[in-house]
Amino acid sequence: MSAAVELRQVSKVYGSGPAEVHALRGVDLSVQAGELVAVMGPSGSGKSTLLTIAGTLEEPTSGQVVIDERELAGLSRNELARLRRRAIGYVFQDFNLLPGLTAVENVALPLELDGVRVKAARAAALVMLERLGLAERATRFPDELSGGESQRVAIARAVIGERRLLLADEPTGALDSVSGEAVMRLLRTACRDGVAGVVVTHDAQLASWADRVVFLRDGQVVDQTNPRPGPESLLTPGVKP
């Protein structure tokens, strides 16, 4: 199966001369449809840069980015904008919902921007909110929603339509652990439904929801987790009489 997103020897340099910062150095990363990958590293390791480059929000200094078998460098500005609108969903730590729009309007927005008629887009958004258990909050504005609800709305907005790639930057950062877990369950379910997911985080609990954890240090991929035997192996007797 081909990768939904692939980074090949991607490097990113900010500034020049003595002020030069190498945010990424020759990163290779490939994520299949249906797979959730966590990129884990401390602040300054290049996580967010990796995500913005995978999400076409920034261009690499060198290397290639391939989304759905199309190399981004070969796309026109319009094609790139369309790819970004249709194929890629973003989830941020601070939700980034538009405050003047209701939950359902926020979720419908990507479809409307893509030319879907308002009525059809809102209907699709409502279905998505229902799936995330938020139907009764659909007409609320972001400042009337809890943090957990806001992030679920943001996820609904990120996966609506025919998105192929879901990118999340510390998506549970501001949430308590129960709400955070609900968010990770949703991201995992979205990936099971065929989306390729990339979550960047410094948080091991959050990363442990991923199928694979990639470790980033100083702009380089230094290691990744391997699949282990099933969870039954953990449940060994531990009784002391």
Partner 1 sequence: MSVRHALLALLSDGPKYGLQLRQEFESRTGEVWPLNVGQVYTTLQRLERDGFVESEGSGGPQNVFTITSAGADELAAWLRTPAEVMPPPRDELVIKVLVATSVPGVDVSELLQVHRRHMVEAMQQYTHIKSDMAEDDVELGLIVDSELFRIEAVVRWIDAADARLKQYPAQPRRTPAPVPRLGRARMGSRR
The Cα 88–Cα 8 span in angstroms is 19
Residues 75-114 that bind partner 1 (CB under 8 A): none
131 belongs to the binding site for partner 1 (CB under 8 A): no
Q: Which of 161, 154, 214 minimizes the C-alpha distance to 187? A: 154
Structure tokens at 61: 């200094």
Lay out the site mask for partner 1 across 19-58 (x = CB under 8 A, - = otherwise): ---------------------x-x----------------
Cross-sheet strand order for the sheet of 165-169: 88-91, 165-169, 196-201, 36-40, 212-217, 220-224
**Beta carbon nearer to partner 1, 53 or 196:** 196
Task: Please give the backbone phi and psi of residue 90, each rounded to the nearest 5 degrees, phi first.
Answer: -120, 140
The Cα 49–Cα 209 span in angstroms is 22
Residues pairing with 22 in the sheet = 13
Residues 171-210 that bind partner 1 (CB under 8 A): 181, 185, 188, 202, 204-205, 207-210
Closest approach of partner 1 to the CB of residue 219, in Å = 15
Closest approach of partner 1 to the CB of residue 213, in Å = 5
Residue numbers of the site for partner 1 (CB under 8 A)? 40, 42, 181, 185, 188, 202, 204-205, 207-210, 213, 215, 217, 222-226, 228, 230-231, 233-235, 237-241
